[in-house]
Chain A
Amino acid sequence: MCVSPASPDIRASEPGVRPAPGRTGQALIRNFCIIAHIDHGKSTLADRMLQLTGVVTGRQMRAQYLDRMDIERERGITIKSQAVRLPWAGGDGRRYVLNLIDTPGHVDFSYEVSRSLAACEGAVLLVDAAQGIEAQTLANLYLALGADLKIIPVLNKIDLPAAQPDRYAAELAGIIGIDPGEVLRVSAKTGEGVQDLLHEIVRLVPPPHGDPDAPARALIFDSVYDTYRGVVTYVRLVDGRITRRERSLMMSTGATHETLEVGVISPEPTPADGLAAGEVGYLITGVKDVRQARVGDTVTSAARPAAEPLAGYSRPRPMVFSGLYPVDGDDYPEFRDALDKLRLNDAALTYEPETSAALGFGFRCGFLGLLHMEIVRERLERESGLSLISTSPNAVYRVITESGAEVTVTNPSDFPGSATIARVHEPMVRATIIAPADYIGTIMELCQQRRGSLLGMDYLSADRVEIRYTLPLAEIIFDFFDQLKSRTRGYASLDYEPAGEQEANLVKVDILLQGQPVDAFSQIVHADEARDYGLAMTQRLKELIPRQQFEVPIQAAVGSRIIARETIRALRKDVLAKCYGGDITRKRKLLEKQKEGKRRMKTIGRVDVPQEAFVAALSTQAGDRRQR
């Protein structure tokens, strides 16, 4: 586990000498991550650590230093993991290297969390002293405990007047099974307690214990596409060494690549000669696509390859699907390019072309969850300047037909006719909700409405409770989180993980305009909810679709059975009453605009529907449900 004191690595790390990458003994390395809920102050704590360890001076400092994407900084969340090397003078006078591996905090990215955890020996469990632990943090804590990480519980924001450190220290102690006195208390904002925390990390987190002399084995825990440098691969060296002079080998594909650059982030990329066992850094290998340097793969030396790869991760499977379309059909080629570019950086995103009679050409995209979907859409719009429409998200269904064939449905339009269906299986999730005990009733009511079944309930403290349910994923996708937040005044937090599937009485509701189905509005819902969905959609479309010269029926149907109907009355009058000298220019411009609008309309059967009506109908679908 420890390297002999005679090793040259240690000499390089004696007091006064900063340990160099590639020559740092494992005994001096501490690899850790921070597990925290959004807004509990992880990025601020990371900022203080950067300053205290001297890698960023006060002048260089900017808030959320490690969050590189605009969208991360704006939303205050971390999407991609980062690893930063921090030199630290330990209390014992030795020069240590702390590798802070940043983790995303949101449920959709638990896959990214688990890969960050695999690169660490310890985790700082950071909890807001005014809020207590949240469900996603608890889920990530369980992941960390499962990965055998040393947990250092820390309460943040102790400077806040609303902080209740004693109360939440007791709560954390109860969850982890420690003494409340072991919970550290810091204020990342003022810096109070952060120095002690760094000392505790050195004291408590075990050093890595790889075999420095074995063939190299490095675990890829992130791959990021950079326009200027190609794919930058973040690795944790488990055994051996990787140097710039050796070709590298990806063990899953057998492909070898020239090693163009090896380095560490501190806090900007800093090239080095190599990385040694226990260290964390990056490789640039001339790989062009993040898929060729897959997260979870093992990198070894082409000249002296390892025999066995490290245990990797299972690839994340998209759980939520939605059709994405450019509002202006002419933008389709740019939209496709933007998706291709985003994929370089987002291994979890899947997409394939699809055509909608209502929305034109687009892509059916698969996402890890709703936040992932939102972020992908926002990045596409922001980075390519396109405006997009998304169809309402749906889960993936496994349909067994009467003939015994199995169909995987990611698009409601592809749902087979009800007469041919033998069984439908829908994906389930195991949801964990943490909330003040006062809200138990209202939370259970919501979960029951959403076809949930209670797994169990535990008090975290006298007045906070953890409630566990299995729920259909489709129910979570449909604004469950918004409902939960509004019913608990924002106090509840939610985490969910896949939990198999169940057979369910699901039907496809089609929306018909003058008898023609509008594919973008087809939705798979539970049979008991079909009518509500049908009523809401037909009423909404009645408001949004302009009157035509003829009467237009809007129907909701399950198979051939009509379950809701509205009628758009025929348009009888469109003419402006007066048209004198001064009105002519205005009226002509109005007509020109009307004609332009008509060119951009989609025709469903004989009915002209403006693109805006689709956008409005799709964007307010969730809103309807919310009101009920």
Chain B
Amino acid sequence: MPCVPPGGEAVPGDGALPPSALAGLGERAFGIYVHVPFCATRCGYCDFNTYTAAELGPRGAAVSPGSYPELVIAEIGLARKVLGTADVPVRTVFFGGGTPTLLPPAAFGAILAAIDGEFGLAPGAEVTAEANPESVDEAALYQLRAAGVTRMSFGMQSAVPAVLAVLDRVHHPGRPARCARWARAAGFSHVSLDLIYGTPGESDADWRRSLHAAVGTGPDHLSAYALTVEPGTRLAARIRRGELPPPDDDVLADRYLAADETLKAAGLRWYEISNWAAGGRSACAHNMGYWTGGDWWGIGPGAHSHVGGTRWWNVRHPAAYAARIRAGLSPGHAREVLTELQRHTERVMLMLRLAAGCPVAALGPAGRRQAAAVVAEGLASAQAYAAGRVVLTRRGRLLADSVTCRLTE
């Protein structure tokens, strides 16, 4: 979750959505995101809405990994009430964080049972859990699989100890590979790894080493993110003080190209700017929902939701969140009901990030003129354009923001 919540209008106490949001509910993909706001330690680069036990205060704090699942289950009930009686089977569930695996394994089963009870889990639903390599072991992975989790995503970040140290990651470099092996043994056919490139001090060779190490574990999915220095993090402070160099855009561009080549060679194809998968079935269906205008309900402190053109986000602090839920109130902090123009901008912005691209027909007249120019400049594929779509080339992917600006003129 981003550090700075955007402004917006107030959410009604009962969380009721405008009629425009509820129209067509169930016709779009529906997913549930469960945010788990706990971490064992805080990493220096991370600005996610997560808290260590020390940050949450002494015993008796309003929220703990033990008491959290009941709050999640309560918000699932609220979601059902707000969405009314429409048939909205849940096609994807994503446990993100934070560190979801700090919850007791039984919690996953209980939460999934609540989702199934209120909405019904669609047949073949994708259920992803994020995990830190250090936070799981073989037994835990068996338990997660047994609880109904179908896909594991491990935060590997790097295979190079010096890089991991700058990121404050505590795991041992060999650990992600073992996690991936254990996961497959436990019955997970979908295993994903996250990598970060451009960490201060990382060399081109370091990055290649991380890529090969990741590919060597045989994942069917990989996410690689350029390190973003978020304001307010320890990393940002260290860069400001001159202790670490800031990431260089040209270096990041080179790393991205290296990633795309290595991953392609290993049979992983890009399907979103920062995501590669072994095939259509390996792409993360939950995230695809975000990028294709699907509906989802985000549960937990700071979680964002989107239903039919209304976006809202929950109060950020776990204690505030718990107080709202326990009072039977919506934890929604603020929301925005998107205008048609905003929806258009988002659609183009998100579709352009995908390998499927954006249909030329979805663009306005100025955008269509720009599309031709973008193709002529080599930023989008001529072949795809001939077939009526704007699909970014490798170079174009790195400049997706400028292209989006131009296509939404």
A207 to B401 alpha-carbon distance, docked (Å): 79
| Pair B342/A577 contact, Cβ less than 8 Å | no
Interface string of B1-19 (1 = CB under 8 A from A): 1101010000000000000
Q: What residues of B have a CB within 8 angstroms of the CB of A587 in the complex?
A: 349
Q: What residues of A have a CB within 8 angstroms of the CB of B228 in the complex?
A: 576-578
Total of A-B residue pairs, C-beta within 8 Å: 105
B271: interface (CB < 8 Å): no
| Pair B249/A573 contact, Cβ less than 8 Å | yes
| Pair B349/A581 contact, Cβ less than 8 Å | no
* Chain A residue at minimum C-beta to C-beta distance from B352: A575
A569: interface (CB < 8 Å): yes
B377: interface (CB < 8 Å): yes
B221: interface (CB < 8 Å): no
| Pair A588/B342 contact, Cβ less than 8 Å | yes
| Pair B304/A585 contact, Cβ less than 8 Å | yes
Report A608 CB to chain B, min CB distance, Å: 10
Q: What residues of A have a CB within 8 angstroms of the CB of B256 in the complex?
A: 573
A598: interface (CB < 8 Å): yes
| Pair A586/B4 contact, Cβ less than 8 Å | yes
| Pair A572/B4 contact, Cβ less than 8 Å | no
| Pair A572/B398 contact, Cβ less than 8 Å | yes
| Pair B33/A575 contact, Cβ less than 8 Å | no
A512 to B377 alpha-carbon distance, docked (Å): 24
Report A427 CB to chain B, min CB distance, Å: 47
| Pair A581/B290 contact, Cβ less than 8 Å | yes
Q: What residues of A have a CB within 8 angstroms of the CB of B306 in the complex?
A: 581, 584
Which of A549, A572, A591 touches B249 (beta carbons < 8 Å)?
Answer: A572
Q: A581-B33, A585-B6 are in contact. Are A598 and B405 (CB under 8 A)?
A: yes
Q: A572-B398, A586-B4 are in contact. Are A591 and B349 (CB under 8 A)?
A: yes
B340: interface (CB < 8 Å): no
Report B99 CB to chain A, min CB distance, Å: 17
A62: interface (CB < 8 Å): no
A574: interface (CB < 8 Å): yes
| Pair B349/A582 contact, Cβ less than 8 Å | no
Q: What residues of A have a CB within 8 angstroms of the CB of B291 in the complex?
A: 579
Q: In residues 77-92 of chain B, which contact A (Cβ within 8 Å)?
A: none
| Pair A581/B304 contact, Cβ less than 8 Å | yes
| Pair B405/A595 contact, Cβ less than 8 Å | yes
A571: interface (CB < 8 Å): yes
A75: interface (CB < 8 Å): no
* Chain B residue at minimum C-beta to C-beta distance from A592: B345
* Chain A residue at minimum C-beta to C-beta distance from B96: A580
Majority secondary structure, B binding face: mixed
| Pair A574/B400 contact, Cβ less than 8 Å | yes
Which of A572, A588, A598 touches B399 (beta carbons < 8 Å)?
Answer: A572
Report B2 CB to chain A, min CB distance, Å: 5
B166: interface (CB < 8 Å): no
| Pair A584/B311 contact, Cβ less than 8 Å | yes
| Pair A575/B290 contact, Cβ less than 8 Å | no
B273: interface (CB < 8 Å): yes
Q: What residues of B have a CB within 8 angstroms of the CB of A583 in the complex?
A: 2
A628: interface (CB < 8 Å): no
Q: A549-B377, A572-B399, A573-B249 are in contact. Are A578 and B345 (CB under 8 A)?
A: no
| Pair B353/A579 contact, Cβ less than 8 Å | yes
Interface string of B346-357 (1 = CB under 8 A from A): 100110010000
Q: What residues of B have a CB within 8 angstroms of the CB of A586 in the complex?
A: 2, 4, 6
Residue of A581, A583, A586, A594 contacting most chain B CB atoms (<10 Å): A581
Q: A569-B250, A585-B304, A595-B405 are in contact. Are A575 and B1 (CB under 8 A)?
A: no
Q: What residues of B have a CB within 8 angstroms of the CB of A574 in the complex?
A: 398-402
Known: A549-B377, A580-B290, A583-B2. 19 other contacts (CB 8 A): A569-B250, A571-B402, A572-B399, A573-B226, A575-B401, A576-B228, A577-B228, A579-B273, A579-B290, A579-B291, A585-B313, A588-B345, A588-B349, A591-B349, A591-B408, A595-B405, A595-B408, A595-B409, A598-B405
Name A residues whose Cβ lies closer than 8 Å to a Cβ of B.
549, 569, 571-592, 594-595, 598
A sample of 25 inter-chain contacts (CB < 8 A) reads A549-B399, A549-B402, A572-B250, A573-B226, A573-B398, A574-B400, A574-B401, A577-B225, A577-B226, A577-B228, A577-B273, A577-B274, A578-B228, A579-B273, A581-B33, A581-B296, A582-B1, A582-B298, A583-B2, A584-B306, A585-B6, A588-B342, A588-B345, A594-B401, A594-B405
